[in-house]
Structure 1
């Protein structure tokens, strides 16, 4: 599969059609353009953002020993989860296997359809509950803002 690019030659007022052979990956989908620098930037943004926001709260609620310990436990759980998820990126072989494009695809390939429904339900439940928490937090923040 090749991607066709249509460009306009402004000088002669005509269209130029070219194909980009490297526009698609080995499975026919558009090739990814990310690199190591963009991946590191996303990881740092996610980790530092959540860490900075939760550090003060966890220390205020749990103290100087319990707060950092709770954050360390959450960091370990996140690290283990990310390793497991990255191992499920391609199945059954992590190098040459079929690519799983979503979390649900990885669950379906590795655990079967019955557990896919359970995982999908839990994933949507988590999204729903998180959305409710964001709405409540936003409402509370706006109430204090307008006082």
Structure 2
């Protein structure tokens, strides 16, 4: 069976709007958001979904450079920052990205341990 590839030789992506929506929903609905109540919970979900929409639109615009159709692809967030900003900002972005990952990991660990207790 021949593997289908994109214009850059990598395997073709198979995501759909359904899988993208599932990823966005799981990213927006944190473990504590729905426990905020019937008013604050949905309001928080709406706010976070708007932030997610805005940032995903920015990332989609930065995916190919310089042309959005035929430009070189940026496969990672760091590649997009390197292409558009360069220099020290790439290192700053990397530190911020890893600090965010550590914070999220600590948050989920604490939440999981409280839920298990």
* TM-score (ref. length: structure 2): 0.81
SS at match of 2:68: coil
For residues 83 and 53 of structure 1, do their structure 2 counterparts lie closer, same or farther at Cα, with a shift above 3 Å needed? Answer: same
Paired residue for 1:58?
A: 36
For residues 81 and 112 of structure 1, do their structure 2 counterparts lie closer, same or farther at Cα, with a shift above 3 Å needed? Answer: same
Paired residue for 2:50?
A: 76
Q: 1-side partners of 2:62 and 2:25: how far apart?
A: 25
For residues 45 and 53 of structure 1, do their structure 2 counterparts lie closer, same or farther at Cα, with a shift above 3 Å needed? Answer: farther
Structure with the largest fraction of strand: 1
Equivalent in 85, 90, 107 of residue 111 of structure 1? 85
The CA deviation at 1:75 is: 1.5
SS at match of 2:69: coil
Q: 2-side partners of 1:54 and 1:141: how far apart?
A: 11
Q: 2-side partners of 1:132 and 1:70: how far apart?
A: 21
1:87 equivalent in alignment to 2:87 = no
For the aligned residues, what is the CA RMSD? 2.4
Q: Write out per-residue CA displacement over residues 9-59 of structure 1, whole angstroms, 9 at most, x where no aligned residue.
A: xxxxxxxxxxx4x6443223x22141xxx4222223234444486553232
Contact 1:58 1:71 in 2 (8 A): no
* TM-score (ref. length: structure 1): 0.66
Equivalent in 127, 131, 143 of residue 101 of structure 2? 127
Q: 2-side partners of 1:123 and 1:52: how far apart?
A: 19
The CA deviation at 1:135 is: 1.8
Larger Rg: 1
Structure 2 unaligned residues grouped into runs of 5+: none
